[in-house]
Each structure stands twice: as C-alpha cells, then as structure tokens.
Amino acid sequence: MNHHTSRRQFLGRTAASLAAATAAPSLAFAAASQPPQPNVVLILADDLGYGDIGCYGAPDIRTPAVDSLAAQGVRFTQFYANAPECTPTRTALLTGRYQQRVGGLECAIGINNVGRYDDAIRLAEKHELGLPAEETCIAHLLKDVGYTTALCGKWHLGYEEKFLPPRHGFDYSFGLLGGNIDYWFHVEPAGTYGLYENGKPVKRDGYLTDLITDAAVAFIRQAKNRPFFLYVPYNAPHTPSQTHDVRPDSPVTEENLNRGTREEYVKMVERMDEGIAAILKALDETGVADRTLVIFTSDNGAEKRGRNLPFSGAKSSLYEGGIRVPCVVRWPGVLPAGKTTDHIGITMDLASSIARAAGAKLPPGRTCDGVDVLDEVARNRPPKVRPLFWRYRRGTRTLCAVREGSLKYIRNTDEKITQEYLFDLATDPQEKNNLLTARPADVQRLKRLLADWEKEVQHTR
C-alpha cells in the first residue's frame, strides 16, 4: 500500500527496510582468507557537463564535496562515458561490457517505457526492453563475496519487474525507474511511474535529490559493520529543471520538460554536491571512510543548460562534449592524494576496477570489456593500449566513433546522409580541424577497427 510520509518517517521506514536487507550474516565473507575488502560508494551524476565541477574549472558552480574528493584522490582528465545518453552508459557501468552486447539499450529508454530506435521498439513490443537478469551485474559479483548492496537513485535499465534492481543483486533499492521524473511530484510527464523501494511502488514527500541522499546516508549507517557496495545514481541535474527551494504547483508536462535556466542548473548541481557531502560525512562519522573507495562521475555530457568546455558538442553527440566526463576517485592508502592524471578510461572500466578491489570473480565463460584502470593508476603503470568504441542510435540516426591513441574517427549517419570526421585530440581537443582527406590511411584503419568491433559485439536477443 502506498502512503505519504514526512522526511523523518521516510528515514525511519528506510532504516527498517535496510535492517531487513543487511541482517543475515555473510558466510562468503566470513570464510574468505583475503585482505579486508573496501566498501565501495559509486556516485553517478546525470547529464553533468565536464566543466560543471569546481575542480574542472566551473566558474559559477560551487562543488566543495567533489572538489574534496579530488584533493584527497585522483582526478581524471581523459575519462569517457560509454555513451552520450544515460541508459547505455548505465548498462556498461554495471556490467563492465559494451552495452551493444545486450541489445536494445543503445539509447535512453523513453518516457513510459518507449523504445526509441528499431531494435529497442522491437524489444519493447515483446516486453523485453531492459537489462536482463542473466547479465552479470557488479552488484551480484560483490554480493557473492560477502557485500551488502544498495542502489539509491535512478535505475533507467527497464520498467518491467523482471528488470528491476532486486533482480540484479541489490539487497536494498530506492529511487526512480526512468528519466525525466518530477523532482517534487515524483512522476514522469505521462503521469506514470514514480518512486520504487525494493521493486515496489512507494510515495514520499520531498525534493528527490534530498530523498536519494537520505536513503544513501541511512544505508551507510545501517551497513557500516560489513563490507558494502552503495550505488548512488542521482538524477540531478537532468531535466526537468527544478530546484530544491521552489516547489511547483503542478507536475511537469512534456511541453515544458526541457525548459530551464543556467541558474536553476547551478542550484541543482550544488544541491547534489551537498548530498555528496552528507554521504562523505556519514562515512566519516561511522568510521569507515579510510576503508572506502569513493567514485564520482557522470553518465554523459550536459545539454544546453550545462557547460562542456573546453570541448565542443553536447549530450547525444559523440564529440568530446557529449562523452568526455568528470571522474574523481578517492581510495585512501591505495590511490595517491591530489593527483591529476591523463590516463584514458571509460565507464565500463569502473566495474572491472571495483570487482578486483573486492576480490570478486566473473563466472566461467564471462569476460569484461573494461580494464582495471584504478590499478593502473595506483601502480603508476602506463595505460593498456586499446581502441575505444562508441555507437549511439536514436530514431533514424546512428552515430559511431573510435578513438585509438590521440586519433578519433566519427561517423554520423541519418537515413542516407553520412558525415565523417577525423580529429587528432592531442593538438585539436575541440575537434575543429577535420583531417579526413589529409590522412586517408588512418581513416581506413580506424574504419576497419570499427567494423570489426561492430561484428564482435553483435547481440543475440
């Protein structure tokens, strides 16, 4: 039964749910003969621009919490999202694999569970649009080695019950299933799909960013005596453009969903940073901060309210501004403090890094596409030489890219119109100088790499 609650009642009910989720002893952990496992807090912003964090040069946004993580850990300057939209990046984040291997998740799932390109439409019609439970989720891997697991925030990997967080190894989950949810009324513009707790619909009062923070803090306080994995995918600063200090009279509609100002965006990012500060404070007060790996990144670049500088492009494009994202990692005693690195990484690398840190193993026959980028940085090793690939589909558009070394090839196709580009990011990070005709051999080599990759990641659903 759904019922409205105050913030105090919400915290009490959340604590009760968490107590049930974390009560059972961990036989796997008790039996393990390995060094103590770190707690893991993985924080994901939604549509946050590369230049919208203080330590990445934001001139008008104050983010002292994320900045403190950078001062105490490592700040990446060449970190990429797996896609220029949320659903595909989240797929890669939790599986450690290219999202193309799953099928139907190369574009954000639309409002009210809508597929937005042919493959996604086909799966939606079969009630198969989402992340299947048989995919190896990082929460399952950590749960198998004794971790208590929780998700507090945005899911966006399927609306059907069979795709929800409890099916993917999360002992506790609270938040929203899709995108574009109203921050105050907690419904999508179509009037459907609100908040969920442990896979069941619930109603809560309050600003959504704060509710996500409260649930995350409550989990930390409840789970402090066991190794835990806490995934906090905020939906801020994604539209609708709503701030914590102005409660609207009615829910957002599709007509005004994408309206908003830079000033509102700034407030939304700063409120999220205040929430991150509360999470870091909870780690300190429970005495687990020194054995907790904290990761902060974004699922893609910003839209028009955000700032992707110094790069060109934005969300839904494969220019650097659409896929180059902030990434800050603090891991006391393992990663150096105050380090800035140009080590190239991508979202799916985080799953590999977290699994290794926790001592988790993939099932037989399963492989990751990501690499353990944190181990490379911790040991001051050169990055693994590898090309990185992107493919994003929406409607009739298919955007592809490959980066190898400093060279990046982009192909944008919309029906019968194709545009191609080659950029050297070492000398042209803003992607202004198209080298397509000047370096034909490099173009052909990168096109072959892209074609081979597309064949290799072909899904079977």
Task: Work out the pLDDT band at 365, boundaries 50, 70, 90.
Answer: confident
Q: Is 160 exposed, middle or buried (0-12, 13-18, 19+ CB in 10 A)?
A: middle
Active site residue 127: no
- pLDDT tens readout for residues 193-242: 899 999 999 999 999 999 999 999 999 999 978 899 999 999 999 999 99
Contact 61, 323 (CB under 8 A): no
Return the exposure string of 200-227: e unless at least 16 CB atoms fall within 10 Å of the residue's CB, then b.
Answer: eebebebbbbbbbbbbbbbbbebbbebb
Q: What is residue 23's predicted lDDT score, i.e. its pLDDT?
A: 52
| Model pLDDT for residues 250-260, shown as the tens digit of each residue | 999 988 898 99
Q: The whole model's pTM is what? A: 0.93
pLDDT confidence tier of residue 36, bands split at 50, 70 and 90 = confident
Q: Is a pLDDT exceeding 90 seen at residue 17?
A: no
- Confirm whether 459 is a catalytic residue: no
Query: Structural domains in the chain?
Result: 7-386 (3.40.720.10), 396-461 (3.30.1120.10)
What span, in angstroms and rounded, lies between the C-alpha atoms of 216 and 332?
21
Within 13 Å of residue 384, how many CA atoms lie on the same side as its CB?
14
What confidence score (pLDDT) does residue 240 get?
96
Secondary structure, 3-state, 204-264: CCCCHHHHHHHHHHHHHHHHCCCCEEEEEECCCCCCCCCCCCCCCCCCCCCCCCCCCCHHH
Mean pLDDT, all residues of the chain: 93
List pLDDT tens digits, range 52-111: 999 999 999 999 999 999 999 999 999 999 999 999 999 999 999 999 999 999 999 998
Give the burial class of 1: count Cβ atoms within 10 A of its Cβ; 0-12 exposed, 13-18 middle, 19 or more buried.
exposed
Q: What is the pLDDT of residue 30?
A: 30
**Residue 32: per-residue pLDDT:** 32
pLDDT digits (tens, 9 = 90+) for 18-31: 765 655 433 232 33
Q: What CA–CA distance (Å, rounded) separates 224 from 282?
A: 10
What is residue 219's predicted lDDT score, i.e. its pLDDT? 98
Q: In what order do the strands lie in the sheet with 407-414?
A: 388-394, 397-404, 407-414, 417-424
Q: Per-residue pLDDT averaged across 372-377, rounded? A: 96
How far is residue 66 from each of residues 69, 277, 405, measured CA to CA in Å? 5, 8, 29
Of the chain, the percentage scoring pLDDT greater than 70 comes to 92
> Please, are residues 300 and 237 in contact by the beta-carbon 8 Å criterion?
no
pLDDT at residue 7, as a whole number: 57
Angle at the Cα of 334 from the Cα atoms of 328 and 337, rounded to 5 degrees: 50
- Residues 110-121 have pLDDT tens digits of 988 999 999 999
> What does the pLDDT read at residue 2?
42
What is the per-residue pLDDT for 3?
41
Distance of CA 175 to the CA centre of its chain: 14
> β-strands 407-414, 417-424: how paired?
antiparallel
Buried b (16+ CB within 10 A) or exposed e, 253-283: eeeebeebeeebbbbbbbbbbbbbbbbbebb
List 107, 137, 152, 156, catalytic entry: 156
For residue 16, name the pLDDT band (cuts at 50, 70, 90).
low
pLDDT band at residue 191 under the 50/70/90 scheme: confident
Q: Are 72 and 109 a contacting pair, CB within 8 Å?
A: no
pLDDT digits (tens, 9 = 90+) for 303-335: 999 999 999 999 999 999 999 999 999 999 999
Note the pLDDT of residue 15: 59
